[in-house]
Amino acid sequence: MLRVRGTTYHFRRIVPPALRAALNRREIWVSLKTGYQNEARKRASLLHARTTELFSQTHLALSEPDALSRFEGLRVSLRDLQSVTLPSSAQETGSVPVSAPMPKPQRQSKQAKTPKAQPLMLSDAMKRFVLDNPHASTDTKKATQRAREEGLPTLSGKSVKNHMMRLSALWNQLHQRELVTRNPWTGWNFENGQKTVRRSWTTKELALLASASWHSTSVPEQTFRLVTLIAAYSGMRLGEICTLRKEDLQTVDGIPCFLIRPHTETGWTPKTEAGTRIVPVHSKLIEAGVLALKDTTDGLYLIPGLETSKQGVRGAALGRAFSLLKTRIGLPAEITFHSFRHTVSTQLRNADANIREVWIDRLLGHEATHKSQGTTTYLTGITTANLNQTIEAISYPETAFANMTI
């Protein structure tokens, strides 16, 4: 029978009552030294065969005249069985088949020296369990490689936290495979200072942003204004906006919509499963001329003037330029580009309109607040008209984005 202690499987078998006195055991418990169920089953099968043979020999010994001397040898065999390190097959262990008698263990005068195992280097572990792992996300692989490839200097507190959390995840993998005895990062608090809580924009801050001059040479000002306008009237993430392709602007049920979906040709995917969604184009964006981008922009993407970084992130330069701008004009740390998403969420949840919570969650790509069967069924019935009604509830003062056209 298989048992799990921590992350390791164990083999447990009850000794028949008639044999307990002879073997001086009530049960046999052996660590299988693996956290993989299939491997544990193979090793447990081998142990089951060996214990069956041991029980059989004990039954025979009970009927023999020199039973006492035979019992001692069987007890030694049992102790050896409980301390054995089992590989995945009988062939690898050189174990004795069920039909053959189990020989008495012989003491060796001198044990042969086994070659010293080479330590697993952290770089090898990173390659094996992260970079070569088909289940690791593209973002995780890129973030793991970035510091090594670029030789980055001093890291921010957030970057340090991210790296340490990835190390902890890696050590969990190593511990599960019994390559290390424990995860040294367990229980660590990676917060190195007071966390800045991002918040929504105020009317005054939006006016300050709208009147600010754009100094970046890597991103055109028109592109900055366009992306800002789309974020404000959709609540979409910066990465979602910058990776929009022209084919992602389509009419659904008679309503112009942005389609947020995976890009198989580049490997880009939404942040979460719920992030794959449709977002109706706000009437203010239509007035500004967003729909014309599909015909006037060159290339694959809908938003012009953006380059893809070495890490494969489109819009990374815009994110950096925006951070410099907000610092230059004196906006607080609580305000970031992501604050447009907070602003939209706050507006919609406080809107004096017949807007349901699940419509807001679907529009923003959030997991549903309630995951009952009723909610799950209802989510499939949300129409494009429901989402359009939700998106049109977003509004700003005229001074926020005055005279903004594409």
Break the chain into its structural domains and give their ranges. Answer: 2-81, 203-400
**Residue owning tokens 């006016």:** 207
Query: Contact 23/58 with Cβ under 8 angstroms?
Result: yes
In tens digits, the chain (406 residues) has pLDDT values of 777 777 788 888 888 888 888 778 888 888 888 878 788 888 888 888 888 888 888 777 777 766 655 666 666 666 666 555 444 444 444 443 443 444 555 555 555 666 666 666 767 777 777 777 777 777 677 776 665 666 555 566 677 777 788 888 888 888 887 788 888 888 777 666 666 788 999 999 998 998 899 999 999 999 999 999 999 999 999 999 999 999 999 999 999 999 999 998 888 999 888 899 999 999 999 999 999 999 999 999 999 999 998 888 999 999 999 999 999 999 999 999 999 999 999 999 998 778 999 999 999 998 765 554 444 444 567 999 999 999 999 999 887 776 565 5
Name the CATH topology of 203-400.
hpI Integrase; Chain A (1.10.443)
Query: Contact 230/290 with Cβ under 8 angstroms?
Result: yes
What 3-state class would DSSP assign to 36? coil
The Cα 387–Cα 383 span in angstroms is 7
User: pTM value?
Assistant: 0.56
Token digits of residue 17: 């009552």
Cα-based distances in Å from 340 to 16, 270, 295, 335:
70, 18, 27, 9
The Cα 246–Cα 230 span in angstroms is 15
